[in-house]
Homo-oligomer: A and B are copies of this chain.
Amino acid sequence: MGDTINVGLIGYKFMGKAHSFAYKNVSMFFDTPLKPRMKLLCGRDEKGVKAAAEKFGWEGYVTSWKDLVSRDDIDMVDITAPSDAHKDIAIAAAEAGKHVFCEKPLALTLSDAREILKAVEKSGVKHMIGFNYRRAPAVQLIKKLIDEGKLGRIFHFRGFYLQDWIIDPEFPLVWRLQKEVAGSGSLGDLGAHLIDMARYLVGEFDEVMGMNETFVKERPMVSEMTGLSGKAAEGAPKAPVNVDDATLFLFKFKNGALGIIEATRFATGHKNGMWFEINGSKGSVRFEFERMNELQYYSVDDPEGVQGFRTIQVSEPVHAYMQAWWPAGHVIGYENTFVHEIYEFIKAISEDKLPEPNFYDGVKCQEVLTAVDTSIEQRQWIKVDEV
Whether, in the assembled complex, A271 has its beta carbon less than 8 Å from a beta carbon of chain B, the answer is yes
Tell whether A318 pairs with B305 under 8 Å between CB atoms, given A25-B24, A250-B248, A332-B334. yes
Are B211 and A211 within 8 A (Cβ)? no
Residues of chain B contacted by A273 (CB below 8 angstroms): 329
Question: Which A residues between 263 and 282 are near B, CB-CB below 8 angstroms?
Answer: 264, 266-273, 279-282
Are A331 and B156 within 8 A (Cβ)? no
Residues of chain B contacted by A264 (CB below 8 angstroms): 155-156, 279
Q: Which residue of B lies closest to A167 (CB)?
A: B281
Q: Which residue of B lies closest to A293 (CB)?
A: B290
Residues of chain B contacted by A327 (CB below 8 angstroms): 14, 165, 227-229, 271-272
Q: Which residue of B lies closest to A52 (CB)?
A: B28
Are A21 and B14 within 8 A (Cβ)? no
Give per-residue flags for A226-267: 1 if the beta carbon is below 8 A from chain B beta carbons, else 0.
011100000000000000001011101000101010101011
Q: How far is the CA of A209 from the CA of B210 in the complex (A)?
A: 9
Q: How far is the CA of A236 from the CA of B315 in the complex (A)?
A: 30
- Report the interface size class on chain A: 35 or more
Q: How far is the CA of A307 from the CA of B313 in the complex (A)?
A: 8
Are B290 and A268 within 8 A (Cβ)? no
Instruction: Return A383 CB to nearest CB of chain B, in Å.
Output: 12
Residues of chain B contacted by A143 (CB below 8 angstroms): none
Q: How far is the CA of A163 from the CA of B330 in the complex (A)?
A: 11
- Most chain B CB inside 10 Å of its own CB: which residue of A18, A262, A292, A326: A326
Instruction: Return A222 CB to nearest CB of chain B, in Å.
Output: 16
Q: How far is the CA of A310 from the CA of B56 in the complex (A)?
A: 36
Instruction: Return A326 CB to nearest CB of chain B, in Å.
Output: 6
Whether, in the assembled complex, A298 has its beta carbon less than 8 Å from a beta carbon of chain B, the answer is yes
Whether, in the assembled complex, A351 has its beta carbon less than 8 Å from a beta carbon of chain B, the answer is no
Give per-residue flags for A1-44: 1 if the beta carbon is below 8 A from chain B beta carbons, else 0.
00000000000001000101100110110000000000000000
Q: Which residue of B lies closest to A301 (CB)?
A: B303
Tell whether A330 pairs with B20 under 8 Å between CB atoms, given A215-B155, A260-B260. no
Residues of chain B contacted by A55 (CB below 8 angstroms): 27-28
Are B272 and A260 within 8 A (Cβ)? no
Whether, in the assembled complex, A308 has its beta carbon less than 8 Å from a beta carbon of chain B, the answer is yes
Q: Which residue of B lies closest to A307 (CB)?
A: B312
Whether, in the assembled complex, A46 has its beta carbon less than 8 Å from a beta carbon of chain B, the answer is no
Are B269 and A298 within 8 A (Cβ)? yes
Instruction: Return A207 CB to nearest CB of chain B, in Å.
Output: 9
Are B27 and A21 within 8 A (Cβ)? no
Whether, in the assembled complex, A380 has its beta carbon less than 8 Å from a beta carbon of chain B, the answer is yes
Residues of chain B contacted by A326 (CB below 8 angstroms): 14, 18, 334-335
Whether, in the assembled complex, A145 has its beta carbon less than 8 Å from a beta carbon of chain B, the answer is yes
Known A-B contacts: A269-B279, A308-B313. Give 18 more (CB < 8 A): A21-B28, A24-B28, A158-B160, A163-B329, A209-B209, A249-B250, A250-B250, A260-B260, A267-B279, A268-B279, A271-B315, A272-B329, A290-B313, A291-B331, A298-B310, A305-B316, A306-B312, A307-B312
Sample of 22 A–B contacts (CB below 8 Å): A28-B55, A28-B57, A156-B266, A165-B328, A210-B250, A228-B327, A248-B250, A248-B260, A250-B250, A260-B262, A269-B279, A269-B309, A270-B279, A290-B329, A295-B308, A299-B306, A302-B302, A306-B312, A308-B312, A309-B310, A310-B311, A330-B333
Question: Which residues of A come within 8 Å of B, CB atoms?
Answer: 14, 18, 20-21, 24-25, 27-28, 55-57, 141, 145, 155-156, 158, 160, 162-165, 167, 209-211, 213, 215, 227-229, 246, 248-250, 252, 256, 258, 260, 262, 264, 266-273, 279-284, 289-293, 295, 297-300, 302, 304-313, 315-316, 318-319, 325-336, 379-381
